[in-house]
Structure 1
Amino acid sequence: MNLQTLPGLFISHGSPMLALNPEQVGPALQRLALNLPRPQAIVVMSAHWESEVLEVNTGIRPETWHDFRGFPPELYQLRYPAPGSPELAEQILNMFANAGFSAHANSVRPRDHGVWMPLLHMYPEADIPVVEISLPMSMSAEEIYGIGQTLAVLREQQVLLIGSGSITHNLAELSWQGTTAEVPEWASTFRNYVVNKLTHSDFNTVLDWQSLPHIQRNHPSLEHFSPLFFAMGTGHRFSIVHSSFSMGSLGMDIYRFD
């Protein structure tokens, strides 16, 4: 294997406050970036770009979008001015077409916090081109996995592939006591079950998400879990980079696929 081949990643990006209060996750992302070969480019599928059909951001320099409300003013001052890569975006569109995926170019979409918040910790200089792809909610888990498989070859071109979501994500059940809150059993059971299946390369059980224990309580809607399907498609060998919970039940795990 080429020494420069990068992994695929699943990153739980948590609350927008991660940008100001890194907790355990910010340092874990910093260490991860330091231990990886420097990417030529980064491709991110974010939970926060849900779309009808598959889209690829072809913008030259997408704006930083503060797609949330009610947070401290300093959070809205943050910018992540990394360039886009229209050339890579065009290559991705061609790869999708060749794989039978219908995909569209989008040159005006700003970058949501599912993209810029983890990258702020990993590559704070914002000097690596970033291309965002959408999360098509009409697609099945297997199809989203297929998107990851289609782009997996980019890893050999020093492109870092990231699915940005959260291993658990039920905002209604969060504890505002913060990091001291106890992790509920339904959240830890779900997280441990998924990790066990991935560790044993049983990807099919994870893709059959409706059968996962406590799935509705951990993911009342699927958009924060679906980027994991994408990341799973990028590599066969699973490992855990980081594992923690925030605000009780918000899983902050980071996984890599080689």
Structure 2
Amino acid sequence: MLPALFVSHGAPTFPLTDAPARLFLEQLGAELPERPRAILVISAHWETAAPSVTASAVNETIHDFTGFPAELYAIRYAAPGSAWLVDRVAGLIETAGGTVARVPGRGLDHGAWVPVRLVYPEADIPVVQLSVQTALGPDYHYKLGQLLAPLREEGVLIVGSGSFTHDLSSFRQYYNALHAPAPAWVDQFADWMTDAIEEGRIDDLLAYRNRAPQAVRNHPTEEHLLPLFVALGAGSGGSEAGRAEHLHASTTHGILRMDAFAFGGAA
């Protein structure tokens, strides 16, 4: 059975950089236990009031950024959609009393296509994207992941795509130094989170904003960490904690920890 993954998708220029996290993602597909039937991506870059899923026959590539090299805008990732997966995701959420909007014509934002393209460059696996509800916080997204857990038994790779740390107010200071080391306040937060994940401390993780050192500084807003909680919930299913594996740790631009985790099974 496939694990649920959390990956850090980095800055928009990540596909063009020679970074350890890019090399990790390029090798990840070969290390997973099976080829996915379809991929469900929960990206930090699609925020809605209630859950929404992409419902396109073929996914457009959304370049949701400005001021970057022309080479980046030339990238296309036209993976097919999946009507079956759209209905399955909606059904799992609606059976639990939620509502889901199907959004035809919306493609994949860079939080979705950047990591998935690195793992599966042929764009031949169906991809559906699910939005986050930032105002509802970690506990809601953990429970959302638990609702989605049955998809793993059906050959669906669940990918939470965000950033392990994400203080963009400090980004200009480090942007031109791709391999700058992380400052202490970044590693303090990342190390605490890693320990809590590996030790299965779900209560601490759900309350990370009050318990983790430098939490608010590393995540002034929560959207880039919420996909982690979806993956965590999907990996544990109905239990309090599932097996977690720390797949990768590195830093780009000093303030972006690019860590990745697998939940519920070894990658």
TM bucket (normalised to shorter chain) is: over 0.9
Report what 2:225 is aligned to.
Answer: 225
Match of 2:127 among 127, 130, 141: 130
Provide the residue aligned with 1:207 in structure 2.
206
Mapping of residues 96-111 of structure 1, within 5 Å: 96-111=93-108
The superposition leaves residues 219-247 of structure 1 with CA deviations (integer Å, 9 ceiling, x where unpaired) of 11111011111111011111111100111
Superposed CA deviations along residues 84-110 of structure 1, whole A, max 9, x for unmatched, are: 001210111111111222221111222
Superposition misfits of 4+ residues, deviation over 6 angstroms:
none
CA separation in 1, counterparts of 2:149 and 2:18? 29
Instruction: Give the C-alpha shift of residue 31 in structure 1.
Output: 1.8
**Among residues 25, 29, 53, which one is paired with 1:33 in the alignment?**
29
Q: What is the DSSP-based 3-state SS (H/G/I as helix, E as strand, rest coil) of the residue aligned with 2:187?
A: helix
Q: Distance in 1 between matches of 2:87 and 2:224?
A: 26
Could you report, residue by residue, the CA deviation over 1:151-198 in whole angstroms, capped at 9, with x for unpaired residues? 111111111001000000011213134234231111000000000011
> Cα distance, 1:22 vs. partner?
4.1
Give distance in 2, aligned partners of 1:192 and 1:210: 14
The alignment partner of 2:13 has SS state of: helix
Tell me by how many angstroms 1:12 deviates. Answer: 0.4
Counterparts in 2 of 1:171-250, with a 5 A limit?
171-174=168-171, 175-211=174-210, 212-235=212-235, 236-250=242-256
Q: Which residue of 1 aligns with 2:19?
A: 23
1:140 CA drift (Å): 2.8
Match of 1:52 in 2: 49
Report the TM-score when normalising by structure 2.
0.92
Amino acid in structure 2 at the alignment position of 1:215: A
180 and 62 in structure 1: CA distance in 2 versus 1, 3 angstrom threshold:
closer
Number of matched residues? 254
Please tell me whether the aligned partners of residues 53 and 138 of structure 1 are also in contact (alpha carbons under 8 angstroms).
no
Q: In 2 relative to 1, CA 190–121 (structure 1 residues): closer, same or farther, beyond 3 Å?
A: same
Provide the aligned C-alpha RMSD in A: 1.1
Q: Note if contact 1:203-1:232 (Cα within 8 Å) is conserved in structure 2.
A: no
SS in 1 for 2:17: coil
5+ residue gaps, structure 1, are none
Alignment pair present for 1:10 and 2:6: yes
Contact 1:19/1:117 (<8 A) preserved: yes
Aligned to 1:113: 110
* 3-state SS, counterpart of residue 178 of structure 1: coil
Structure 2 runs not aligned, ≥5 long: 236-241
Aligned to 2:259: 253
Q: In the TM superposition, what are the counterparts of 1:88-103 in structure 2 within 5 Å?
A: 88-103=85-100
Q: Secondary structure at the match of 2:178?
A: helix
The residue number in structure 1 matching 2:72 is: 75
Identical amino acids, percent of aligned pairs:
40
Kept in 1: contact 2:137–2:226 (CA 8 A): no
* Cα-to-partner distance string for 1:23-42 (whole Å, 9 max, x where unaligned): 11122112211011110000
Tell me the SS of whatever aligns to 1:61.
Answer: coil
The letter for the 1-side match of 2:227 is P
